Structures are given as C-alpha cells and as structure tokens.
Amino acid sequence: MTSRFSRADLRMTSALVILAFVICHLSNHVLALVSLEAALAGHEFLMEPWETPVGTGLLLAAGLTHYGNALWALFLRRSLRMPAFEAWQLGLGLLIPFLMMVHLSGTLLGEVVLGLEPGYPSILLVQWVLSPWKGVVQFVLVLVVWGHACVGLHLRLGAKAWYRTWYPWLLVLAVVIPTLALSGWVAAGNHVVRAAADPAWVGGVLKEARMGPETAAAAARLIGLGILAHLGLIALPLAGRQLRRLGGGVRPLLTHSSGRVMRVMAGATILETLLDNGVAHAAVCGGKARCTTCRVRIRAGGSELAPPAPLEAAALARIEAPPEVRLACQVRPVSDLSILPLLPSDASAADGKLHGGLDGRERLVVVMFIDLRGSTTLGEAKMPYDMLFILHRFFQQMTRALVATGGHYSNFTGDGLMALYGLKGGDPAKAVAASLEGARAMRAGLDQLNLELALELTAPLRMGIGIHYGEAIVGTMGPPDSQIVSAIGDTVNTAARLEGLSKDHDCLLVLSQAAAEAGNLDLAGQERRQVVVKGRLEPVEFYALDTVPG
C-alpha cells in the first residue's frame, strides 16, 4: 500500500469518526425539543462515551489527523483553482477551526486550561444570556461543520449507483438533522433565558461550572491564541507553495487537444495544470481518483510517465481502460505530454461509469450479423405479444451463445443482432474460431427453440449469419446515458451485406474469404463467390455454407 493510498484511507476514517461525534451531538440537541431534562438524560448515552479517555483520545486523534491532512493537501496543491463543490469543501473546512475555538474555549480547552467544569446548562447560559455572540457563532458552526461533512460525502459517494438512487432521501435527511438539532438548541435556550430571570439559578449554574468574573477575559485570550495558531498553520503550506514556485528546473509542456500549450509546474497533475490555466475539465470527485470523469488519452509522451498508483489503477480497472487512458488528477508529467479529454467538462458522476476502453480506436475484429428469417410473415400471423415473446426467446438463445463463446453483444436491429469477437486483441485465428463456435451454438440454440415452440409455429424458425474479419473503428458509442461498445466502418457494412446474402443463397452462414484466411480454415471443395458491396471498389469474396466449418 502506498503512502498516498494510506493518506486517503486515514482521511476517510478520521472524517467518519468526527461525523459520528457530530451526529451524536446534534441528536442530543434534538432531545431538547422534548425538554431540557430529556437532553440532559440523553447526554449520558450520546455524549458521555466521547468524554471518556478512550472516546476523547479517539476524537482528538481523528481531529488532528483530519486537520493535518487538510493542511498537507493544501501544500500539495499546485493550483488553488478548483470546481465549486471542492472549493466549498475546502473553504468550509478552513473556517471550522476559527468557529470551533469559540466553542472549545468554554468546553474541552476551558476544562484543561482554565479549570472549568462546564455542563449543558452553563454552556447554554453563556450562549443565550451572558455572551449571545457566542450563540451566533455556535449556530454558524453547526451549519458549517454539517455543510463540510455533506459536501465531503457527496464528493466521496457521488460516483456510486446506490448513492444516486438514494440522493433525494439523503438530501432530505441532510436538511432535517441540523434543522431539528438547531430547533432543539433554540428550545433549550429559551428555557435557560426564562430560568436566568432568577439570579440564584444563574449563580448556582456558574458556581457548578467554576465560572467567575475573570472567565470571559481568559476565554477571549484562549480564543485569540487559537485563532492565531490556526492562521499560522494555514500560512505554512501557503508559504511552502510559494517557495516551491520559486524553484528552478525544466517545466514540461502540456498540449491539450484544443491546441492550448501550457507549462506544467514541477509536481503538478494534469488536472491542476488545466485548471490553473483556465481550461475547463471534468473532476466530479475533487481529484481523488474515484469518479474517473477526468480521464484523458495520452496521445504522446506517455512512455515517460510513472505507472498508475494502486488508487488510480483500481479506478481504471473498473472502467476497463486501455494503457493509454489515465486519470488527469493522478498523472504528474515529467516531460512534454499531449492529451485528449475523453469526457466533456460538465460530465456527471454517472458519466464516470461509462466504459473507458476502446474509445474510437481502429482495430482488427471479427464482425458477425445474425438475422431471424421470415419474421415479417411471422409477425402477420401472430399477435404482437406472441411475436415479442418469440423474439425475446430468440435473442435469449443468441446472447447466451455469445456469452458462452466470448463474443460481445453490440446492438440489435429489430429481428437481428450484431456481435463482435476479438475485442481484446490476440490471435486472429482464435477470434475467428470463437465466432464460428458462437455460430454453432446459435444454431443449436435455434434448434432447441424450435422444439420448445413446435406447437406455436407453423414452420420452424430459420436464421442467417454473416461473418467478416477486418479493420473497424471500435469504441463506446451512442447517447451519454446508454452508451454501448460497438463498431463502425467498411468491415461492419460488409458483414451486414454478407448476412443479407444468406437469404439470397438460402444458406445458414456466409463467411468472407478474409475471415477464412484469418482463421486458417480449410474450405477446399467449397465454391468461392464474389459480390460487389456499395462503397467498395473491389468485390468481396465469400463462401455460402449450409453448416458451420470446424
């Protein structure tokens, strides 16, 4: 496991610990809608576990880990330009310590440094009666912490299918929880305001919390020191970034497909370089190698790049990306590089799920077309529902044969379908052999279907198959929400024409001479025929076969 992956793991773990604490804290405030006594009783099982040495230690470790990781991430950034969601997360995260110091001065830090023993009534008394400005800060703190957590979870989970399904309900939950918590806090505050009319009650609460006339001034000094410390810690990574900019060395060139040429700062990622130069580029997850929307094709200079780290490699494997496809948020150019973005700059998390390989590349493949014979006549004799049932069973048998023989179902054309073999490259003979094995399995499947539907059919179902081998443009095609891996080009057109010839020659299979040669097939004794295909200057040679050759 690399340190980069380990840091991401720590970031998420620490965030979940802090979120668990925040949810417990807010749930405790919700109980105040019932009564202040209910909130005090709930404190025992919601908050006291966090106040034990183990709970406090766990929370402090998570807080320091998350805070330290944020500062380190700020230092590592080569550009402060980022998508709006990521900017909000960073901005809210850096704001939290300023607001948190006001709260901690009267709670944890107040206990350790000032010797206070605060409780729920004394904290509410300060926020609602003695120092109302602290109440305003507390209100803002709840919204900022919750907003930071929600944005972080959205960036983390946005690419997951289940999250998109549940997003409306999770959004409702994200609004309801802080609303109920702040409502309970207001209800408890009103109770304290009424109780504060009794000086004896106020004196008793302050005495129990060990708060005196000097407490406010001491807490203010503590707040000031905490804010100065936070400002100093923020200044460190920012200063480090400036020093890094002053460093010398050769800065490689990044060439964008739009023609833009940019200098790459030492250690900067492709994504940071693009954003720093005002080039819009997709990055839904905030550059964490999760959504893959920032994917690019390396057109030149890829040999000098370091191989993908585990996090990037796992993301690329999910979309079955070829070697020349990398994630812009993870690649740090060390020499001149030329790239082509593979998704639009406004790509969504759902777009990141699209297949990442075979993006419009020319490659040698076996193309197969299958057609159900006589479907028009059959449709006239059958009710629409019956016809749909027969077609469904036909396609079921055909796709089952494709899956069993390593074929790829590309698309269907009414009563037929198109399939591809050899998508992963390798020996052409094996691809042709697999396609012929698929054709035999399809014929066997059709025979089985005829047996099952014998009472429903006036004549057995027949089919025609056309197989051709050649170069085609293969890639992810179609509308953004329903893209498929398919092929276009002369080879595809020829295969479709060959399948049509199976009807003219009243045979099962029309196999091109190119496919026969690629598959090293011995078709001695079979008549070699020719046909002129529209768009081609030279005729296509083929064999019309009643059986599938071995």
E strands in 497-549: 509-512, 528-531, 540-545
Q: Identify the pLDDT of residue 455.
A: 80
pLDDT band at 248 (very low <50, low <70, confident <90, very high): low
Instruction: Give CA separation, 79 vs 244, 253, 273, in Å.
Output: 12, 16, 7
Beta strands at 253-255 and 337-341: parallel, antiparallel or unpaired: parallel
Q: Identify the pLDDT of residue 501.
A: 93
Task: Report the C-alpha gap between 106 and 276 in whole angstroms.
Answer: 42
Tell me the β-bridge partners of 322: none
Cβ atoms < 10 Å from Cβ of 509 = 27
Q: Which residues contact 290 (CB under 8 A, 6 or more apart)?
A: 156, 159, 315
Q: CA torsion 135→140→142→147, rounded to 10°? A: 180
Residue 329, token pair as written in the block: 């948020």
Task: Report the C-alpha gap between 92 and 143 in whole angstroms.
Answer: 10
Task: Report the C-alpha gap between 239 and 506 in whole angstroms.
Answer: 79
Q: Which residues contact 530 (CB under 8 A, 6 or more apart)?
A: 539, 540, 541, 542
Give the chain's domains with CATH numbers. Answer: 3-244 (no CATH), 253-353 (3.10.20.30), 361-545 (3.30.70.1230)
pLDDT digits (tens, 9 = 90+) for 323-362: 889 999 999 998 999 998 888 887 777 777 776 655 567 7
Mean pLDDT of the chain: 87
Residue 213 or residue 139, greater confidence: 139
Residue 3, pLDDT above cutoff 60: no
Q: Which residue do the tokens 């059959």 mark?
A: 378
Residue 380, pLDDT above cutoff 60: no
Beta strands at 540-545 and 484-488: parallel, antiparallel or unpaired: unpaired
pLDDT digits (tens, 9 = 90+) for 173-195: 999 999 999 999 999 999 999 99
Q: Which residues contact 547 (CB under 8 A, 6 or more apart)?
A: 508, 509
Instruction: Give CA separation, 109 vs 18, 115, 137, 142, 341, in Å.
Output: 18, 9, 17, 19, 50
Task: Report the C-alpha gap between 93 and 287 in whole angstroms.
Answer: 17
Task: Report the C-alpha gap between 420 and 431 in whole angstroms.
Answer: 9
Q: Which residues contact 41 (CB under 8 A, 6 or more apart)?
A: 31
Q: Identify the pLDDT of residue 479.
A: 65
* Angle between the N-to-C axes of helices 53-76 and 84-104, in degrees from 0 to 180, rounded to the nearest 10: 140
C-beta of residue 494 within 8 angstroms of C-beta of residue 537: no
Cβ atoms < 10 Å from Cβ of 455 = 5
pLDDT digits (tens, 9 = 90+) for 407-438: 998 888 777 899 999 988 789 999 999 999 99
Q: What percent of the chain has pLDDT over 90?
A: 50
Side chain identity, residue 183: S
Q: Identify the pLDDT of residue 4.
A: 45
pLDDT band at 388 (very low <50, low <70, confident <90, very high): confident
pLDDT band at 2 (very low <50, low <70, confident <90, very high): very low
Residue 296 φ then ψ, to 5°: -135, 155
Residue 222, pLDDT above cutoff 80: yes
Residue 379, pLDDT above cutoff 60: no
Tally the residues of the chain: 550
For 285-318, give the DSSP string: TSSSSSS-TTEEEEEE-GGGSPPPPHHHHHHHHH
| Three-state secondary structure call for residue 329 | coil
SS (H, E, C) 181-246: HHHHHHHHHHHHHHHCCCHHHHHHHHHHCCCCCCHHHHHHHHHHHHHHHHHHHHHHHHHHHHHHHH
Residue 99 φ then ψ, to 5°: -75, -35
Residue 210, pLDDT above cutoff 70: yes
Task: Report the C-alpha gap between 280 and 83 in whole angstroms.
Answer: 9
pLDDT digits (tens, 9 = 90+) for 440-477: 999 999 999 989 888 877 788 899 999 999 998 888 77
Helices (runs of H) and strands (runs of E) counted in the chain: 18, 13
DSSP 324: T
Q: What percent of the chain has pLDDT over 70?
A: 93
